[in-house]
Amino acid sequence: MMLSMWWTEPWSMTPVSVQGVWNVWQPVALVAVVTAFLIVALAYMIGVSFNLAGLRKWAKVEFYQALASAILVAFLVLMMDTMLNEGFQTMIGSINPYKKAYAYLDGVMDSLYPIYTSVYKANFIAEFIKSIGIYSNGMGLDYAPFELFTSPIVEYLHFEAHIVTVAAIITSTQRALLHLFYNAGFTVFIPAGVLLRIFPWTRGAGGLLIAIGMGLAIVYPTMFTFVAMMSENSSEVKNKATELGNSIGGFDMTKFGACACDFQSASDVATTKVLSPQLRNSSAWLLGWLSGIWLKIFYYPMLVLLVTFTFIRTISPLLGADITEIGQGLVHLL
Amino acid sequence: MRISYVLTTIFLLCTVRAADIVCPATPPYPPCCVSSEFWSGGWIYISSVAMITIILLLSVVYMLSKIFVKHEWEIWIKDEAYQILISIVLIITLVIVLSAICNVFTTLAGNDPFLIAHNYLNSLIWDKTLNMATNTFQYSVLCQLLAAFRTQIGPVALGVGFNQNAGLRAVAVCFDFIYALTAGISASLMVQDIGLSIIQAFAFRIMLPIGIIFRIFPFFRKAGGFLIALSLGLYIVYPLCFVMNKMVVDSIVSGISLPALETYAEPFLLAVISPFMPIALIGLYTIMNQLAFLLPQALFLPTLNLVITLTFIKNAARVLSQNFAEAY
Amino acid sequence: MNILRKALLCMVLLALLLSGCVVNSDGTMAVSPACSSGTVSSGFQTMWESWQGIAFLAGSTVFIISILAYTLGYALMHRKVIMWAKEQMQEACLSMVIVLFVIGLVSFLCSLDLRTLGMEVSCICTDPAEVYPACTTGTSCNFVNVGYGMLMEMYKNIMGGFLTVTAIQSLLSALSTTTYGYAPGGVGFVVSPLGALGDIATSLRDGMIVLMTSAILTLTQMILLKMTESLFVILFPIGIILRSFGASRGFGGGLIAIALGLFLFYPLMVVLFYGSVLGSIQADYSSMTTSLQGQGLDASNSNWFGGLLWPVAGFIGKAMVGAIFIPILMFMVLIAFIKGLSTALGEEVDASNLTRLI
Amino acid sequence: MTAAELFQSVWSNWQAVAIAAAVLSILFTSIAYSLATVFKLKSLQLWVKDELYQALASAFIAGAAVIIITAISNFSCSLTGGCAAGQDHMDVAITIMDTMKENVITQVQYMFDLSMRVGMITEMGKYYDFSVGNVACLVGLCSTATGFSWYYWAGGSMILDSLDYAFGLLIPVISSFIAQLYVLQLIKTALFPSLLAMGIILRTFFFTRKVGGLLMAIALALYTIYPLMYIMLQPYFTFTPHDFYYPENDVSATIMCGGSFVPHGDADHPFCIGIPGTLTYIIPGLPTSAANTGEATFMFKNGCRNNGDCLGGSTCENINGQKMCHGPPGSDYGSDVYAGMLSPYNGVLPTVGYLLVPGVFLPLLIILVTISFIKVLSPQLGGDIEITGLTRFI
Amino acid sequence: MPIVVSWAEWQAITLAVVSLMFSLVSLAYMIGTGFHLPKLQGWAKDELYQALASLLLAVLLITFISTIDTTMTTIYGKDPFDIARDYVNTVTAGLGTFFTGFVAYDVYFQLFKSAVLKAMPSQTGFDINPLIGLAPLTAMLSLSIEATLGAMALLFGMSAFISFIQYQLSIILPIGMVLRAFPFSRAAGGALIAVFLGFYVFYPFFWVFDSYIYSDVTAAMYAFPLANTATTALGIGSECIQCPMCCVANVPDLSGNMFLSIIMNLTYPVIYYIFILALLLPLFNVIMVLILINELAKIFGSEIDISGLSGLI
């Protein structure tokens, strides 16, 4: 019933497709409000019939809680709509922050992909040339002629590939987190939170769930929208990557499959292509771009997650759950 | 007769001393002086203006209470008047006592407590922690180099090869662990050093005057008391705790002698495996001793300082913000 | 007139305090630990003489003022003032009484010989050069020295264990890097047969880090123990003096609680807790070394796990609990003691919000 | 055997003890009550009255425990949209985690196969002797041998390093899935029944009431909120493993890899290593390569499928200079990662990134919610039951 | 030279200490009444109640502990401490067997991984390290070895802590009683008694609870269906039906699957042992005991208000 959500991607222009959220939200809201008032009425009725002062007092308190839940339910979607749709409009112009964030992260992946493949292509030939060795047992010789000047390039490309590896993993994790917050924020956490707010025993957990829902659904994407505004477009990165890929082009590897017939072209590639300024400049530019990306996909999101958790920690007591100690402990953990 | 004569001289002495509590117009300010400029008009001027306005207000209310025959207002005014008097007395005693306390503790510590605290912390950070960190780093690099040294008997295809000192890599990991620890220690010491200079800049020049002014207004009395207590605690007690730390550390340095490494090691076992191991372990042992001296000064003593300062602030706030109703 | 008179009296009090403040000539307080060679250290004695004067002075001034206030209150029939004065008088007498007992208390603590309490403990020779059993000039077995001796024993055991684990680890990692080539005529294999030992060596490396941390923490506690003696010498007198004045009674009480807690209760806890843990760690270390000798370091022996790694893991586990977990428990009880004592003596030393700070 | 039935079996032999404990504490309070009335001790009388009600409440809980638990289990079952016969929501959560674990392990297996294939040829070196071979060389003591040697695919070491880093993250993620599965099974078989039983018993004695309340709160929270959160976030705990292909159709690779002789029947398989290709590499003079030298696209994309995410895919739109290739929902663009997330990138590295969310982030979130539920629930059960009115009514 | 503070008979010491306090206070009470010092008498009366409370507390504690020990020995034949130690030793032994299993596999895999095949009959030919791809597996094995040894060390520490509690921690009860007698250190005394009760009584109880979980549940945990990895490893999996050639000719995939499934069979139970038995349950025990100590400290530390029973005296 409640739990089989429909998971979507952010197609519509407005951040919160109010209509979509409401038809998921509306049945839950009704159930929550009705049961809350039912319990209060029942308790009050018992309190009056057996003139139990304590019970009546409790019922009165619970009535206000139920009223609070009702108001929360009624205005939540309205609040979401105004805050998100209009709010974002004013803040970042008429674009859906989620769409912007999705686009930004996909853009980063679009750039990382050609970088990795071109670095691999350049490194493949450089490392092959580095491994060429001449041996002569008579003279006790085992000498690799090209290793001296190809190994720095190979190490450099390996380091760059490692950064791309880590960046790719983190970007895809952010992408999955963003998808979780977009879908789970309104359609899972907030309905469950409101449902739990009804019963006094689970009010704490309910308050926390609503806080998590609002925090993750609003705070996290806005961060990416600002980050996205500051980023260059990925096509420039792709040009640099292809430039690196072609910097060692024109070397026929198959000749070396069987015999070292064309040793001359191998030394030519080693001396001119591997050391060519084109390879050095494009790989240096790519490394500069990567360190910039590293900041945007690792430190900013970590910062924003901390901001989101402090946001949750501040408003959750408001909604009924006090998680100051636990939250802080877990924030350190994260 | 003699007693009254002595009393008056001492009284004059105190008032004279009180004058030098207010800082001179231009820096360098002597230790323990309350800032004369507070925004533009100087806090003494502002607190007197505040007092006059409140007295005016009270008189107006008193007049109204007489017109509308509101008895409870009268009691309230009487109480407020009394409170203002208490505030004035408190401020005057504060001004006088402050310079006395400062002089006592400065003589006790031998110099301006802030100066001693800064020197103590800087010597800890730059002399002890950072050169220990560089030693650790050098040892770690050396161990890793030695660990990579490989002996090969016969050609690779038909012989045996091994790294005799591969165990040194683990010792290098121990050095890296200590290096990470020293980074944490120096960070905590630097934070305290910066905190001290912030306190020196703001506690008496900003926080104390604000506290005094708040103390005068009826509604901010408790907040004023707390602010004064806070500034006293931070400016006087906190640096003195560092002076205490320095004295404690100096007193125990001579008393502790740790046994040398050989007394409990089986040297023959280690030398057999790799000749460089004993050298690395002696280096590790000396750095562990230095670290053991640093840890209390970077973790235990700062916590003790905070506990003492907080206790003082809590007690002083309670004393300063009570309205002495019972004495009345 | 009444208030003016009170203000004047306050002035008198301050003046007296200033003039009475006799500090030794060069102005700085030379601090020396409370106990040395089994009895009260001479440094503490001389320092306490000068502080004793001040404490008495402070107590007597408060006493005089409260008498004055008492007569005034009696004259003006102001019950609250009388009560306040009576209370101040009690406090002044109490602080003066405490001052009297300080030297007696410290000398008792310094000269208390734990062996009389039925504990077989290892003490310290009065002459620091000698090692305990062979003491010529006599032994001192008070709490601090016994605690220091026990921590030293534990430190030696842990360092011994650390060096043994380092030896095993370096042998295993050396063996794991051996490569053995057998390709006569260019055809064959080059293998490193003992690669698995490298993985065991990495797990022993974590054990080394744990043992090193335990050794460092034990050393730190030895230094803390020495520090508490000097801390007591500074905090206790200041606490007494501040306690006699009405305004700073809470703060003074807190300082006294901290001083007593650190100087008295902390060494007691060290002796009790470490007296017990040390025995089991020592037994475990000797069993480890004997099993190593028996097992020998050749991997061929079938019982390599039972003979070699089982005792090593046991030793690391015990050292970890003994040197890291139990001190946390000890400090927990120490903070409870200081908190309890300070609520009784004056201002409650609130260390709880600090723990949240760190 | 659902958790409720397990609790029932545990409770059947503990119930007697609980009732006896409740009766004992009622006896104890009544003695104290008589004492209080005899010596007219007001404070004791009050305390005793309160204790009596607590004891009665404990007796009620002990008696009705089974009924309450079955009610809770039915309600949670309805929340999950119905449970199978003889199963409750715990089993639903366990099956979710079990399938997730199986899928993740097959995915790891595919990645491990890739590592084996790349590893196979990266260290494959070729030695080519030009010297006039004399007889001694045959025996290997050939002192006059001179020639060339090279490692054709040494470049594969870059992929091995990336795979090594990816496995460094994957191993903890796999153990996290297995650990979560174990925790769920442990709750179902042991933690919930025994903690609840112990909690109820401890609740009857006045000095261990608080601990009893806490144990009951922990048991209830672990039985209800913890599994329900897994069920609520089920789309994030489903994962379809996929294999890795090499889209560049390198002609020489197909020939040397023996035509369609490539695992999984696709022509485009990276670093395909077949016996014919290897032989040609070893025997001097044959001008072919054992495997192909194309780009390592499988680290980002797991290869083409019909009109899907080949480079230059169709349904892409331009958002201020950034190409975002997402068709409307249901379009076959890219593969479904989980929870309706479409992405053209599902190679080795992105897959590791996607697995980090259900492996690390979600368990922490679920634990945070469970702890806050316990923190709210335990004072309710811990003895100062707020609705005192109700207890006075029973 | 074992230095052990073996004040083992803590019960006797506690009773001696409490009765000493009781006699001191009654002495003060007698002096108070004898010399008509109302203040001293009032104070002594209060102290008398506190001493009585301490006495009651001591007696209650000792009987409570001895009843628990007797009941547990009748039911399980051992007192809680022995049950706890046995449980910890069985888990450590289990981890030990896993450790040997891992090392045995590791020996083979390291050997395979590092084997370089040289095929250069006349210095011409090739050399290959066919199974270098096993690196992830050896990394997994190395991580498991490290985790198992760490968990064993942790469990050894736990069993040492249990015997430390049983034989040495009992010393703090008499100290707590003494501190409880003086008014100014009553709170500290109460805290010590709470620590003693928490660790001496309830901590082993939680270990008994863990051993119950271990014996009851571990069997169920082993029934782990490892359906598909085993079959594909042996080349009889579903893929091989579609393309038989792939299975036979593709040496690296085949051997890879075989090694992976062997490892998986070994890592599953170890994760249960390490994560649940060596980390989760001990942590649960310590946290519960600390919460309990916090509650008990409030009860023991405060002035136990039994003045209501004054009617009896």
pLDDT of residue C104: 78
Residue E305 pLDDT class (50, 70, 90 cuts): very low
Instruction: Give the position of tokens 């030279």.
Output: E1
Mutate to test the interface with C, among B95, B291, B307, B318 (most CBs of C within 10 A): B307
How close is the nearest chain A Cα to the Cα of D331, in Å?
A: 12
DSSP β-ladder status, D342-343 and C179-182: unpaired
CB contact under 8 A, D138 and C187: no
**Which residues, numbered 141 to 200 in chain C, qualify as contacts with chain E under a Cβ-Cβ cut-off of 8 Å?**
150, 153, 179, 183, 185-196, 198-200
CB contact under 8 A, D263 and E305: no
How close is the nearest chain E Cα to the Cα of D266, in Å?
A: 10
CB contact under 8 A, D265 and E242: yes
How close is the nearest chain D Cα to the Cα of A74, in Å?
A: 23
Least confident of A78-87, B52-61, C86-95: A78-87
pLDDT of residue E303: 46
Query: Residue A222's closest CA among A41, A49, A80, A99?
Result: A99
Residue C294: CB atoms within 10 A of its CB come to 10
Q: Is D179 on the interface with E (CB under 8 A)?
A: yes
Q: Is E93 on the interface with D (CB under 8 A)?
A: no
CA distances from B239 to B243, C239, E210 (A): 7, 17, 51
Residue A169 has pLDDT above 90, yes or no: yes
Residue D255 has pLDDT above 70, yes or no: no
Instruction: Give the sheet arrangement for strand B151-153, strand by strand.
Output: A141-143, A133-136, D146-151, D125-129, E125-128, E116-119, C187-191, C179-182, B160-162, B151-153
Residue E39 pLDDT class (50, 70, 90 cuts): confident
Residues E55-75 have pLDDT tens digits of: 777 787 778 777 777 777 777
Instruction: Give the position of tokens 């485009």.
Output: D268
Rounded to whole angstroms, the Cα distance separating C10 from B11 reads 10
Q: Is D138 on the interface with C (CB under 8 A)?
A: yes
The identity of residue E247, as a single letter, is: C
**Interval A121-132 mean pLDDT:** 86
**Interval C277-302 mean pLDDT:** 67
Residues D80-91 have pLDDT tens digits of: 766 777 778 888
pLDDT of residue D311: 33
**Which residues, numbered 163 to 202 in chain E, qualify as contacts with chain D under a Cβ-Cβ cut-off of 8 Å?**
202
Which tops the pLDDT comparison, D201 or E123? D201
Share of chain A above pLDDT 70, in %: 69
Residue C28 has pLDDT above 70, yes or no: no
Q: What ipTM does this complex have?
A: 0.75
pLDDT of residue D254: 43
pLDDT of residue C211: 93
Q: Is C187 on the interface with D (CB under 8 A)?
A: yes
How close is the nearest chain E Cα to the Cα of C63, in Å?
A: 22
CB contact under 8 A, B251 and C31: yes
Q: What are phi and psi of B286, to 5 degrees?
A: -65, -40
Which of B10, B178, B252 minimises the CB distance to C226? B252
Chains in contact with A, where contact means 3 or more Cβ–Cβ distances below 8 Å, are D
Mean confidence (pLDDT) of chain D: 71
Which residues on D lie below 8 Å from E299 (Cβ)? 207
**Interval C247-270 mean pLDDT:** 85
Candidate ranges B129-133, B202-206, D271-275, E253-257; pick with highest mean pLDDT = B129-133
Least confident of A58-72, D312-326, E249-263: D312-326
Mean confidence (pLDDT) of chain B: 77
pLDDT of residue D202: 80
- CA C209: distance to chain centroid? 24
Rounded to whole angstroms, the Cα distance separating E220 from E223 reads 6
CB contact under 8 A, C187 and D139: no
Residue E230 pLDDT class (50, 70, 90 cuts): very low
Which tops the pLDDT comparison, C53 or C117? C53
pLDDT of residue D252: 42
Burial environment of residue B191 by CB neighbours within 10 A (0 to 12, 13 to 18, 19 or more): exposed
Which residue in chain D is spatially nearest to C185 when comparing CA positions?
D140
Residue A181 pLDDT class (50, 70, 90 cuts): confident
Residues in chain D: 394
Rounded to whole angstroms, the Cα distance separating E3 from B224 reads 57
Residue A136 has pLDDT above 80, yes or no: no
Which residues on C lie below 8 Å from D142 (Cβ)? 186
pLDDT of residue A273: 80
Instruction: Give the position of tokens 């707010």.
Output: A197
Residue C296 has pLDDT above 70, yes or no: no
Which tops the pLDDT comparison, D173 or D61? D173
pLDDT of residue C304: 65
Residues B281-326 have pLDDT tens digits of: 888 988 998 898 889 888 889 888 988 888 888 888 887 776 555 4
CB contact under 8 A, C184 and D139: yes
Mean confidence (pLDDT) of chain C: 75
Share of chain B above pLDDT 90, in %: 5
Q: Is D389 on the interface with A (CB under 8 A)?
A: yes
What's the angle, vertex CA E257, arms to CA E251 and CA E263, rounded to 5? 135
How close is the nearest chain E Cα to the Cα of D124, in Å?
A: 4
Residue B237 has pLDDT above 80, yes or no: yes
**Which residues, numbered 53 to 82 in chain D, qualify as contacts with chain E under a Cβ-Cβ cut-off of 8 Å?**
none
> Is-contact B264 C45, C-beta < 8 A?
no
Which residues on C lie below 8 Å from D139 (Cβ)? 184-185
Q: Is D267 on the interface with E (CB under 8 A)?
A: no
Q: Is D133 on the interface with E (CB under 8 A)?
A: yes
Share of chain C above pLDDT 90, in %: 3
Residue A173 pLDDT class (50, 70, 90 cuts): very high
How close is the nearest chain E Cα to the Cα of D311, in Å?
A: 28
Contacts of C45 (CB under 8 A, 6+ apart): C103
Mean confidence (pLDDT) of chain E: 73
pLDDT of residue C217: 92
Residues C151-180 have pLDDT tens digits of: 888 888 888 889 888 888 888 888 888 888
How close is the nearest chain C Cα to the Cα of D137, in Å?
A: 7
Which residues on C lie below 8 Å from E149 (Cβ)? 200, 203-204, 206-207, 309, 313
| pTM of the predicted structure, to 2 decimals | 0.77
Which tops the pLDDT comparison, E90 or E218? E90
Q: DSSP string covering B244-308, please?
A: HHHHHHHHHHTT--PPPGGGG--HHHHHHH-TTHHHHHHHHHHHHHHHHHHHIIIIIHHHHHHHH
Residue B30 has pLDDT above 50, yes or no: yes
Residue A68 pLDDT class (50, 70, 90 cuts): confident
Q: Alpha helix (H) ranges present in chain B? A: 2-19, 43-68, 71-109, 113-122, 130-147, 168-202, 208-216, 221-232, 238-253, 267-273, 277-295, 301-321
Residue C2: CB atoms within 10 A of its CB come to 8
Which residues on D lie below 8 Å from E228 (Cβ)? 102, 106
Residue C123 has pLDDT above 80, yes or no: no
Residue A255 pLDDT class (50, 70, 90 cuts): low
Q: What are phi and psi of D154, to 5 degrees?
A: -55, -25
pLDDT of residue D154: 85
Instruction: Give the position of tokens 């477009």.
Output: A233
How close is the nearest chain D Cα to the Cα of C186, in Å?
A: 5
Residues B135-177 have pLDDT tens digits of: 998 998 888 888 888 887 776 667 788 888 888 999 999 999 9
Q: Is A148 on the interface with D (CB under 8 A)?
A: no
Which residues on E lie below 8 Å from D118 (Cβ)? 133
How close is the nearest chain E Cα to the Cα of C198, in Å?
A: 9
Which of B89, B166, B258 minimises the CB distance to C174? B166
Residue B88 has pLDDT above 80, yes or no: no
CB contact under 8 A, E256 and D116: yes
Which residues on C lie below 8 Å from E142 (Cβ)? 198-199, 202
Residues D19-59 have pLDDT tens digits of: 777 787 778 778 777 877 777 767 777 777 777 777 777 77
Residue A307 pLDDT class (50, 70, 90 cuts): confident
Q: CB pairs below 8 Å between A and D: how many?
A: 304
Q: Is C30 on the interface with D (CB under 8 A)?
A: no
CB contact under 8 A, C202 and E146: yes
> Is-contact C20 C7, C-beta < 8 A?
no
pLDDT of residue D283: 61
**Interval B6-21 mean pLDDT:** 49
Residue D72 has pLDDT above 70, yes or no: yes
Candidate ranges A80-84, B89-93, B287-291, D335-339; pick with highest mean pLDDT = B287-291
Residue E245 has pLDDT above 60, yes or no: no
How close is the nearest chain E Cα to the Cα of D388, in Å?
A: 22
**Interval E259-264 mean pLDDT:** 65
Helices (H) and strands (E) in chain A, counts: 13, 2
Residue B100 pLDDT class (50, 70, 90 cuts): confident
Which tops the pLDDT comparison, E275 or D5? E275
